[in-house]
Structure formats: structure tokens, C-alpha cells
């Protein structure tokens, strides 16, 4: 359905011949007309609701559950600014293991970075390096200055832990509430109609060059 809505563009592939006043034209989908939702829109609870993607769900299954039609998967993707549904969408727990073991030699033993605990002036989750982990540091703990080893202030995070955590972040998405769904679809269709200009052929086709 998405590809039926996106308009076409006819671009000149090569000149037919001297003096190059004419060209051969190739028609393709105009994916440069990318629709992007303003990040501020997600703060409006009246329009969107948060949704946590269940393990193994794909955009089409979420669309079926939310809007009654799997072919509206493009609405789920566009309203979350997902460009690539394979890289920007969470993979299943089963596939996490396969991805880790195919991409990394030792994902469970290789350190990706070090992450601080909430101690003194250090907030939880700050990324630090190995030198910090292996060193000692003066820390203000409840008004008392203490010298603590780095391994008491932070912990190593393996590639596997990092990869899994990043995948979990992708599970939290926003879904248009049904009452606003049709309005969004209609608006998207209107924005993908060309207006008349020098390159206009029809509402669904324009040329370049």
C-alpha cells in the first residue's frame, strides 16, 4: 500500500544524441519525498500512545493489532521515523544470539565500555574508559571525601549486554490512536501529490532534468 501512495519521478538517464536536446527518461518511485514526524509530536498523549513491541512482533503484526490491517505497517514505521525495519526494529531474543555470535568473536567476554554506578558525584550510566575502571578516584560521599577504586564506581559492560540493551530500547514505540489514524493517512496521501510547476506531469508524476 505504501508504494502505491509514494509518487513517481521521471529522470533523464542519458541524452539520445547530439545536440543533447532530448533524453531517455526512467520512471521510479520518488523516495526523496520522505515524510518525517516531528519529535515533539510524541509528547502529545492525546494523539499517540506508547506501545511495547512483543518479542517476535513485526511492523505488520503491530499494524494488524492497532489498525486492523497489516498493510498499514508503513504508518507504524513512519510515525516512529523508522527508516530500515530490519536495523531499526527490535529483533527476537533468538535472533540476538545468532546476530551476536555471527558478528563478534567473543560477545560475552569482550568489553564494549564501562558504566558508572550512582556514587557521590557520579550518576548511574555514565560511560567511562578502562583507565577510569583501573584507577582510583576521590569521591564526595555524603560530604566526606573518599578515595575509591574505579571498580567500585563502575562496571564493565560486555558487547552482549550492550547489544541486548540497545535492542530493548527499540521495543518502545508510539502508535497513533485510532481516532487520528485516518486523518494521518489522508494527510500523507495529500502530501504525496505533486503541485503544478515546470516539471509537473500529473499529481502522481513529475520529471527532472
> β-pairing, 8-15 with 200-202?
unpaired
CA 116, 169, 78, 187 dihedral sign is negative
Query: Which residue would you say has higher pLDDT here, 200 or 145?
Result: 145
pLDDT in tens, 34-85: 555 555 544 555 688 899 999 999 999 999 999 999 999 989 998 888 888 8
* CA within 13 Å, CB half, 65: 12
Tally of CB atoms within 10 A around 124? 10
pTM: predicted TM-score of the whole model, two decimal places: 0.66
**Domains of the chain, residue spans:** 1-33+192-209, 36-89+170-180, 97-159
Distance CA 67, CA 80 (A): 15
Q: Element (H or E) spanning 178, and its range?
A: helix 178-191
Q: What is the pLDDT of residues 157-170, one digit of tens each?
A: 999 999 999 999 99
Q: Which residues on adjacent β-strands are paired with residue 174?
A: 50
Amino acid at each position: 500500500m505504501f508504494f502505491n501512495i509514494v509518487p513517481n519521478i521521471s529522470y533523464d538517464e542519458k541524452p539520445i544524441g547530439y545536440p543533447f536536446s532530448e533524453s531517455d527518461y526512467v520512471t521510479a518511485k520518488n523516495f526523496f519525498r520522505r515524510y518525517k514526524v516531528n519529535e515533539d509530536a510524541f509528547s502529545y498523549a492525546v494523539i499517540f500512545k506508547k506501545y511495547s513491541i512483543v518479542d517476535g512482533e513485526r511492523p505488520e503484526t503491530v499494524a494488524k493489532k492497532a489498525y486492523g490491517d497489516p498493510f498499514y505497517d508503513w504508518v507504524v514505521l513512519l510515525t516512529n521515523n523508522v527508516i530500515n525495519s530490519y536495523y531499526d526494529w527490535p529483533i527476537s531474543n533468538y535472533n540476538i544470539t545468532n546476530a551476536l555470535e555471527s558478528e563478534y568473536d567473543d560477545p560475552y567476554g569482550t568489553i564494549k565500555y564501562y558504566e558508572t554506578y550512582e556514587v557521590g558525584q557520579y550518576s548511574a550510566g555514565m560511560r567511562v574508559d578502562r583507565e577510569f575502571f583501573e584507577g582510583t578516584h576521590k569521591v564526595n560521599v555524603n560530604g566526606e571525601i573518599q578515595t575509591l577504586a574505579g571498580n567500585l564506581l563502575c562496571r564493565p559492560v560486555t558487547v552482549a549486554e550492550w547489544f541486548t540493551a540497545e535492542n530493548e530500547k527499540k521495543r518502545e514505540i508510539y502508535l497513533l490512536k485510532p481516532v487520528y489514524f485516518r486523518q494521518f493517512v489522508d494527510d500523507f496521501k495529500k502530501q504525496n501529490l505533486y503541485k503544478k510547476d515546470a516539471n509537473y506531469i500529473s499529481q502522481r508524476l513529475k520529471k527532472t532534468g
